Chain A
């Protein structure tokens, strides 16, 4: 059993953020409306302002929902890498230490300030560590989702369909734009971007779902892509709600940061799921803005710190890289709610 000490993160990981590489997309893929994998961008959506005062519960009964209890492992991510290698003739994992879904790194990144439990499985293979969620653990801890919970998770998907188009605004017809509220929500269709990025001396390939694009793919592929992350959140009217929102914002930030998604559009709703306002934030400036706000309003120190999260992640990944280097079999990475360490141990020879 190996363990990585999480305690005293605030002082241990303070200071300037460690060396980070800007995420660059290497390839992408789509699931169509039947969740069939396609190696193209056919399911990419285009952001366009949603009409306010829309009902996020609208069409709830006709929701076409993807069954996410089935373990999909890293399959589609790996298939895409194979597809990419066919195209380029080059090994895609050269100098890559980790291959994983964005959600795994998000969980690690938010350990210092959120202390939420997780379990992952890791395998070292030909120089890279493949990291995925322990699906059994996920299913067992998920708990029962009541009607309201199901509805609230629908709100998020509905918001996506209210605020995106299947093609750029200029090409979309007025009818398509105005009838978005009547579209059937289907979360089987997805668009995923696969990026190469780096934390300290670790190279990573991360795949993750992207909700929309702000404009269009840049003409020059070297330039960053203006993807958009779409989120819903309860409208804020009390200090406590604001506190919760700021904590939530950490996850929004980490997710977008990891894929290099520069914009987060937050749809604020009331308790009945009515969209009340829209807020567009630049991912990059979220940590600094929270700090500024807290300073300006005398709210004390901000609830989380971006640099600490990045430095923590770097230290952990570098440690994990050396711990699992040249090992065989399947390893478990475990963190317990508010634990003082992350444990790593072998589960399969």
Chain B
């Protein structure tokens, strides 16, 4: 779900779902780093069975980190990925299964969002480059020596898309790393590792869900399996709920815990002095990977316990006195469905629903009030009962006018008081205040007192602090400062040093240079972060660079807004009500598609919502009469997805033969690759909140154009475009080794698929096939030539095995039920916790 705010909202509303991860750190003894022995009991109080890694959530921060220098080469990025993954695995200590899933080609429904992110990312990179060029010119004009790293192009994070050479390197790297761990780490002796790389279609987290569902449908699955999923997306919580496995945790970095790290100088990012004392000396690199920058300490991690969330929802959702059987599992499914109205990656959200406006509360209340009248739950195992969904939409439609008006009032009041405060400060004659540009206040939103005191989760982060101190000179020089911040950090550090020495030495004394404008974050992750920051500030005054000139002419708070919306967003006259119906119907299809996607898997690879905007709740009428069905179709091939989501600026990720399609004026699909595109702020304040108006890809035209080029690609490229398989790896100490060695490598070896016996595999079901690239006890070479590592090296005699892994065949609908034999944990909520939930309901005054 592209709504990080959801995560924050959830953890504030249901504080006990969060707990800190207790992590044993490697000890340094006599200058030697002693790795943690993870065969020891898990310090978090229980042993965990399966760990699922949504690898894109590791690859992004490792390849273009926000808070430290980026690795200089892709090979170094891989070592960062190893290091990070190593830490996460050591933290969780999975005992049964480790699944590493990288995003493969996504369903078409997701590609529109991917396309928008990647086009924006390219545009931001371009802006940055231009600014940098300007700055270099400026330095040159002042006769300053120019650090060559300044002119280095920053790494294109759009390479993190299936089918790119980078993803190929990643796949090789992960396989090597897993073999290395299986050969060296005793805690891996009984671990089974599944690698699903970018060549396997499907989004990482959904491949993980497919795996969990497949295991769950096996009668021998242990219903008390302890699952952990690591990833950055807020919707992992939704996915956790959707599995109906109650022992399920989401693991993630505590993004709000910035205060807990030791102070570093905001200018040079080094410890030991404050910004005021900074001499601006560029950091001296120590160690091959700049070990000291790692001293930029480990961010703490947190658990989100889906089991505890289930307890909260049981209290929150319960409706007494129904004519049908109350069923928590189905109530949870309905709630997940309601959350999709407020945000998901596949549909734009309703104009009237925003997390900050208590959108989920609004819908939950409507649902509870209508449950008896609906005579049943809205969804069944991922299928929507549209007649009942109409009740929910009607309920929302009734409130839409007042929601918009109220939102406007709150905004006006906020601006009003901001103005007043500013005036007051000026009247107080506080001269320094003139220089202050309060970008974020960040104080209005507070942690509920029920939140465990030892978790520094929502401490105001230093970004908001930092931005307060922006002084006049920095504003004048903002382009440079910003450029410095965006550049590959090691270059940035050098640049900052130069800035201090040559141009700004007198004016930056009190400056914390990290105060970059939040509307300009460079990466997808940056975008996420920015949204978090924005959310955390609750109220905000637009920063000077926010696109303020852009007037909102739809004016949702004034009568006639529906007509204006359709005129301005869809270019349709008020008379065209039929069109509104079409949009609403497409949206209903979308809701159905999304729900099936989460509960059953992909219903259609080709379906997508063909508009940039959502309709109003009022536009849905008699949707119960709609017959929704999907045709499965097939996923794009990797290069087709690349051509579908990448801008021409990222073409180096695509085989050369295709480049002309993106760049030649005569290309039959040149219209898919606009160099610039309009950004509609859609009533929002910041560029990253706006809607990028990009043309939708016409699949038929794209494929026709590409088919003409396919004969010209190299054999290597052809291979990269093929669909791959998941791999299962395990060590010689696992009983599977002997079983499969006989199966695949003895005299009586047979070809074909071999079903796994869960009593031998220790719980894993499915089938395996010989991996043509694996030879028992062969050597495994460290795959990188341009980096050296004092940890990773060649393995002479591989004591692990790799086989192709096939999920158990999916024969049946998955059912949202608890499995027999589930033993629920002792309740985490006490009477007081439940009271808070109940009373809040009443307090909200219905």
Chain A residues at the B interface, C-beta cutoff of 8 Å: 46-49, 51, 168-171, 173-174, 177-178, 214-216, 218-220, 223, 280
Contact = CB atoms under 8 A, between A and B. Distances in A.
A61 to B, nearest CB: 23
B835 interface: no
Given A215-B219, A216-B220, A223-B759, A171 B811 contact: yes
B757 A49 contact: no
Given A169-B819, A170-B219, 4 more contacts: A49-B818, A169-B817, A214-B821, A219-B757
Contacts of A219: 755, 757-759
B820 A48 contact: yes
Interface in B356-383: 380-381
A36 B497 CA distance: 92
Contacts of A216: 219-220
8 contacts: A49-B818, A169-B815, A169-B819, A170-B218, A170-B219, A174-B380, A216-B219, A280-B821
Nearest to A223: B759
Contacts of B821: 49, 214, 280
B325 A174 contact: no
Q: How large is the interface on B (under 10, 10 to 19, 20 to 34, 35 or more residues)?
A: 20 to 34
B413 interface: no
A48 B812 CA distance: 17
A174 B757 contact: no
B217 interface: yes
A47 B819 CA distance: 10
A229 to B, nearest CB: 15
Interface string B211-247: 0000011111000000000000000000000000000
A177 B817 contact: yes
Nearest to B755: A219
Contact of A169 (B755, B759, B820): B820
Contacts of B819: 169
A49 B815 CA distance: 14
Interface string B317-347: 0000000010000000000000000000000
A245 to B, nearest CB: 21
Interface of B: 216-220, 325, 380-381, 755, 757-760, 811-813, 815, 817-821
Contacts of A174: 380-381, 813, 815, 817
Nearest to A47: B820
A51 B760 CA distance: 33
A132 B330 CA distance: 51
A51 B327 CA distance: 10
Given A47-B820, A214-B821, A215-B220, A220 B757 contact: yes
A168 B755 contact: no
A220 B218 CA distance: 16
Nearest to A171: B812
A220 B759 contact: yes
Contacts of A48: 820
Contacts of B218: 170
Closest 4 A/B residue pairs (Cβ)? A170-B217, A215-B219, A216-B219, A219-B757
A48 B819 CA distance: 8
A315 B506 CA distance: 101
Given A171-B812, A215-B219, A216-B219, A49 B820 contact: yes
A251 B571 CA distance: 78
A214 B221 CA distance: 11
B382 to A, nearest CB: 11
Contacts of B818: 49
A83 to B, nearest CB: 27
Nearest to A50: B820
B477 to A, nearest CB: 64
A219 B218 CA distance: 12
Nearest to B220: A215
Nearest to A168: B219
Contacts of A215: 219-220
A296 B760 CA distance: 38
B573 to A, nearest CB: 46
A88 B413 CA distance: 88
A46 B820 CA distance: 11
Contacts of B760: 220
Contacts of B380: 174
A170 B812 CA distance: 7
A247 B88 CA distance: 51
A169 B217 CA distance: 8
B44 to A, nearest CB: 27
Contacts of B216: 170
Contacts of B812: 170-171
A169 B219 contact: yes
A314 B239 CA distance: 55
Nearest to B808: A170
Contacts of A220: 757, 759-760
Nearest to A222: B759
A48 B817 CA distance: 11
B434 to A, nearest CB: 67
A218 B811 contact: no
A173 B812 CA distance: 8
Contacts of B811: 170-171
A218 B759 contact: yes
Nearest to A224: B759
A168 B381 CA distance: 18
A231 B817 CA distance: 24
